[in-house]
Each structure stands twice: as structure tokens, then as C-alpha cells.
Chains A and B, each alone.
Chain A
Amino acid sequence: MSILGTAVVIGLIGLVCGVLLAYIAGRFSVKEDPRVEEAIAVLPGANCGGCGFAGCASYAKAVITGDAPVDRCSAGGAAVVDKLSKLTGRSGSASEPKAAVVMCGGDNNAAKQKSVYNGITDCGAANIVSGGPKACIYGCLGLGTCARACPKNAIRLEGGIASVDPALCIGCGQCVSVCPRGLIRLVPRSHRIHVLCSSPEKGAAVRKVCSKGCIGCGLCVKAEGGVSMTMSGAIARIEYDKAPVANPEAVAGKCPSKCLVNLDLSDRGERA
């Protein structure tokens, strides 16, 4: 067969395929709401899962179809809620911007080590095997399971303890759910005072295993006046749903073991 015939036959196959595809695409196309694309463009695209959906695209779809409220995106904050409200005509108020904080201050200098952990680098595994290397059974295991879960690389591991960079944190809560000891909390960014200890043990027992643990002396609560802080057994507790502590410097200065810290979480990085 000549080269021309070959070209014609192959061309015909292509043509038939093309026409068929064009016909099928027109006949069986699925109409998608154009607003879904717009909603995807509005969302930050971090796919962090903080909204409870598989990613930004599926949340966008749910918002447009009316299956989800417009104020679920913790990463985008008020700006995104505004734009989504305009898009859907439904209103919603942004929840207060939040940041994750690791409620433990026991780095390698402060916390006593009871053993050397040589297993796989995963907090869950270390927690099962004799509770990890630190003597404190409530403290940060420091193996970075939270850091690996973070979609923004906002968690650093230094000196055997994880800490969150508030400027990078988008408040999605992925780290909160993977920490086997439940040490990470999403706190309102307006709060400055945080208790970086999660041990409910009495003072003497805490002192034995960590120099930075809360010994339950109650000095901070007295200094604060008991408005937004209370004692919960032998540990000071911040009432995060109440107003932030009014005099953070004075309160933080009272803590004898330096587990009460004055953190500035207001910097939200480039999204502010």
C-alpha cells in the first residue's frame, strides 16, 4: 500500500476517534457549577484537611452544593469566609484564628531520660514501647510524628521536643490528631499565656522527672486573679474560651519552673 493510503487509513482512525469523542463529550457531559472552580480558586489550596473534607476541591464542591457551611476553612481565615459568602449568598462568621501549641516544655535539658530509644522514628510506636525515652509519661516524645503530619512544615524538632512556628501554622489540626499523647492544642491566637506542661501529677512527682513541669503552686492563678485561669488539680489551666489573660508579663514572671510562657501568636505570616 502506498504512503498515501497508509496516511488515509491512520487518519481515518484518528478522525473516527475524534468525532466519536466530540460527540460523546457533548452528549454525556456533566454540568458542573462554574462557581465550584471559583471557590477552589478562593481557598488556600493547602489541602490540609482542617475543614473535615478530603481537600480544598471537595470542600469547595460541598460549599457550593450547600452541604457545608462557608466558615470551615481555618487556614484561610476571615478573608476566605467573606469571598465564599459572596459566592454562595450564605453568611458565616470566621471562627477566631487559631494556632497549634505543643503543651510541653520538657526538652532534653529539662526532662530526665529514663532510657535510650532506638526504635523506629514514630511517636506512636515509641509510646507503645515502654512510653519512649523520657521519664515523664505525659511529655513530648520528640520523634516528630506531628512535624511529618504538618502540611506547612511549621513544626520544628529541637532538643527532643516539638515546637510550632505560629507564623507558618494554619490551624488545620492535623498535628493535634496524630500526637499519641494529645499534647497539641489549637488555641485562639489572641491568648498569650500558655501552660507548657500536661502532667497532672503533684509537684514532687513532676519535679522528679522534669525541671520545667508545672508543680501546681498556684502563683500564676493568684497573680491573674482567677478570671481566665484556674487550678485543675495540680496543674494550672487556661480557660481558652474566656478573654485572654490581661497581664501576661506579670503572670508569666511568677512561674517558678518557667513552664508558663508568654507567646505572641498574633503573627499569621503572609496570610495576615
Chain B
Amino acid sequence: MEYVLLVIGAVFVNNFVLSRFLGICPFLGVSKKIKTAMGMSGAVIFVMTAASAVTWSVQRFILVPAGLEYMQTIAFILVIAAFVQLLDILMKRFVPPLHAALGIYLPLITTNCAVLGVAVLNTQEGYGFVKSVLFGFSGALGFSLALLLFAGLRERLDRAQPPKAFEGVAIALVTAGLLSLAFMGFSGLV
């Protein structure tokens, strides 16, 4: 039950994009088409889950014993960047189709704040290994949900004719705000 609540909390109540305000850059950048949004979602789910595991280990086995918790941000950025690069190389060699699908999105999320955010949140909440990985996965799931919803809305907006002053980024930001407002309805659920 605890795990179920954790997932629901990360996906709906404290959605990474819409209520924690993390990962806004790809949320606005790669949401013009559902297809690219799917690619990005896949990459984010993959990286956030794996990065949670890696950063948890770094925190637990290197930073805490050395008394270096305050260097968390730098250490995490370093490790995540190297880790994503590593995945990129290995994927290109062993699973070329997956690399072709996620390839261009992987470098984009190397220093994504949602990925770093999940690592920092994990240590803040004091989650164990399993919980950390689960939180990373469900946080990415929440990100994907928001991204896909938003991409769907934007595809429709493309065909609508908003007033001249609202065209382009303006209407996209207004839409994002309304979507966030809608997600606020989940607050207090968990």
C-alpha cells in the first residue's frame, strides 16, 4: 500500500512538471508533436529510473561515509552526466533500434533538472534503494503523462485559430498553466 501511494503521489499529486515545476524545458521544447513527446518520455523514464539507482548508491556509499553530503549537487551532476553518456554508448552497440528511438533525446536530458530533482528528493525524503528507484520511475511516469497530455493539446491548438496575440508560445504557456491548474485538483489525495 505504501508503494502504491508513493506512485500515485509522484504521478498525480506531486507531478514533477505540473506541481513541482521541474523539467519545464523539455516540457515546452519537445511537446509539439505526440511522436517526439513519446520518444522523450521513453528516454526520461529510462534515465530517471536508472539515475535514481546510481545516485542513491553514490549518496549511500561515497558521500555519506565521507561526510560530503553538501557536495551532493555537484557529485550527482557528474555521475548522472557520465552515466547517461555510458548508456548512450552501450545502447548504440547492443540495442541499436532503442538507440535510434531514444538517441537524440538522451543527451538532452543529461542535465535535466527533473533527473537531478529526483535524485535530490530521494535523499531529502530518506528513501531506501527500492523506494528511490520506484520514486524515480513514477516521477518519470508523471512527467511523461504531463508531456503527452500537453503534446496532445498542442497538436489540437495547431489547428485551432487563437487570437493573433495568443499565437505560438503564448497560447502554449496559457495551456500549460491550465493543465497545472487541473492537476492541482489532485492535491490532498494522498
Which positions in A face B, CB cutoff 8 Å?
Answer: 1, 5-6, 9-10, 13-14, 17-18, 20-21, 24-25, 28-30, 120-122, 125
Contact = CB atoms under 8 A, between A and B. Distances in A.
Interface of B: 58, 62, 66-68, 71, 74-75, 78-79, 82-83, 85-86, 89-90, 92-94, 159-161
Contacts of B85: 21
Interface secondary structure of A, over-half rule: helix
B58 A13 contact: yes
Given A9-B62, A122-B159, A29 B82 contact: no
Contacts of B62: 9, 13
Contacts of A13: 58, 62, 75, 78-79
Contacts of B78: 10, 13-14, 17
18 contacts: A1-B66, A1-B67, A6-B71, A9-B66, A10-B74, A10-B75, A10-B78, A13-B75, A17-B82, A18-B82, A20-B86, A24-B89, A28-B89, A28-B93, A28-B94, A29-B93, A120-B159, A120-B161
B153 to A, nearest CB: 15
Contacts of A10: 68, 71, 74-75, 78
Nearest to A58: B100
Contacts of A120: 159-161
B90 A20 contact: no
Nearest to A118: B161
A38 to B, nearest CB: 20
A30 B74 contact: no
Contact of B86 (A1, A6, A21, A30): A21
A28 B161 contact: no
A5 B67 CA distance: 10
Given A6-B68, A6-B71, A10-B68, 14 more contacts: A9-B62, A9-B66, A9-B68, A10-B71, A10-B74, A10-B75, A17-B83, A18-B82, A20-B82, A21-B85, A25-B89, A28-B90, A29-B93, A125-B159
